Amino acid sequence: MPYKLPILLFIIIVMVMCFGSFIPLGIKEILYALSLSIKSVIIFLLPFIIFGLLFKTAMTLTHNATRIILLILGGVVCSNFIATFLSHYVGSFIYHLNLSITLPKESSTLQAAWSFVLPPFIANDKAMFSGIGLGVILSLIKIKRTTNIANQLDWVISKILKFFIYLIPLFVTGYLIKLQADGVIGLILKNYALIFVIIAAAQLFYITSAYLLVNKGRMLDGLNCIKNMLPAALSGFSTMSSAASMPLTIMGVENNTRNKTLARSVVPATVNIHLLGDCFAIPIFAFAILKTFGMAEPSLIHYLIFTFYFVLAKFSVAAVPGGGIIIMLPILESYLGFNTNMLSLITALYILFDPVITCVNVLGNGAFAKLIDNVATG
């Protein structure tokens, strides 16, 4: 089911738009309450998920702290940061266009059938830093048992995330019904269609520029590298999983690089953490949603703080459909002021756009591997 999420979500949106007004009020209140409850559970478990994923990543990178690994790690941080920072300007452009929706001044009478809120047991930023710190320290001490602990944590977190993926349709449905009750869901789809095009254009321009850069401005070589990566990119588009597309990504990178052994090392190390598609899509969607809900555009300093945590959280993203946005929900809530309805909307938009996002992630990993090959081989 995870690979069919965009289709399923599209069907849900159409059904809510067409038949939402016929759903009895009591059912609407129950569905909305379920969405709020699922959101509460996700937010409650996210610190544990973030800690576990960062703990394993830090252990792996520290344990293999060769010059190449450090080069890869530094390159991933810089690449994600640059892409996220540049997306600020595209987002700001969208924010100042007359594309957003003016929400009704009076909210609907739809209320949740019940209230279920789990109190947070630790802040997400503390979970991030503690996961990194403990992973590095325990890896340097070289306690054998810590590897087993990291693997067990990774297994548990993988199961939790897969469970969340199956809950996402229900999670989104309640909020869509709320938006339909507010009378804005049709306007959202109409306005965000153009934003989809703008994001895709920005991603395509950036990826093409990246391939030209790593090929020292040689147009034909850059296009040839992209052609070699197309099978992997199409796989990413259809499966919405960079990890599932990794064999084809490695084949494409091997055709584009001189050091084949290095290529086989770079791709697995970056498949979950170097995500250029996410770095453009999520912030740009965030700007559009901020405008939609009448919230102020973040200042450059405020956005830089958001970018820091956004890039850090990238090291805890799981390679499952929708995993990129699940991890980012608390970042959006804490540093851009997203409320429950805004989190639901960006989740829906992300999943609808996930095939394109994953395709760009795969192409970005190919360009990054070529860059590392250029630097390492001189």
Contact 88, 300 (CB under 8 A): yes
Helix (H, G, I), strand (E, B) or coil at 217: coil
| Closest-CA residue to 126 (of 14, 27, 70, 46) | 46
pLDDT of 107 reads 52
| Closest-CA residue to 171 (of 45, 47, 287, 40) | 40
Q: Is the model's pLDDT at 208 over the cut of 90? A: yes
User: For the CA atoms of 168, 174, 178, 181, what is the dihedral angle to 10 degrees?
Assistant: 120
Instruction: Work out how many domains the chain is built from and give that number.
Output: 1
Per-residue pLDDT tens over the stretch 14-71? 888 788 888 898 898 898 889 888 878 877 887 887 788 778 767 766 665 556 667 8
Per-residue pLDDT tens over the stretch 326-336? 888 889 988 99
pLDDT of 64 reads 56
Find tokens 């760009």 and name the residue.
360
Tokens of 204: 């395509």
- CB atoms near residue 261 (< 10 Å): 9
Q: pLDDT-derived band of residue 318, with 50, 70 and 90 as boundaries? A: low
What sections of the chain are H helices per DSSP?
A: 5-19, 25-63, 67-95, 124-141, 144-182, 185-214, 219-239, 246-256, 260-270, 276-292, 300-313, 323-335, 340-377
Find tokens 């300007």 and name the residue.
89
pLDDT of 8 reads 76
pLDDT of 378 reads 64
Q: Is the model's pLDDT at 185 over the cut of 80? A: no
What's the CATH number where 146 sits? 1.10.3860
pLDDT of 162 reads 74
Averaged over 161-187, what is the pLDDT?
Answer: 75
pLDDT above 90 coverage of the chain, percent:
25
Number of residues written out for the chain = 378
The CB-side HSE value for 182 (13 A sphere, CA atoms) comes to 21
Measured CA to CA, the distance from residue 209 to residue 365 in angstroms comes to 14
Per-residue pLDDT tens over the stretch 121-144? 777 667 777 887 888 788 777 666
Find tokens 């259809």 and name the residue.
238
pTM of the model: 0.74
Measured CA to CA, the distance from residue 260 to residue 250 in angstroms comes to 9
Per-residue pLDDT tens over the stretch 241-287? 776 677 788 888 888 888 777 776 678 778 778 899 999 999 999 99
- CB atoms near residue 113 (< 10 Å): 16
**Domain region containing 261:** 2-377
181 vs 374: which has the higher pLDDT = 374
94 vs 178: which has the higher pLDDT = 94
Contact 237, 358 (CB under 8 A): yes
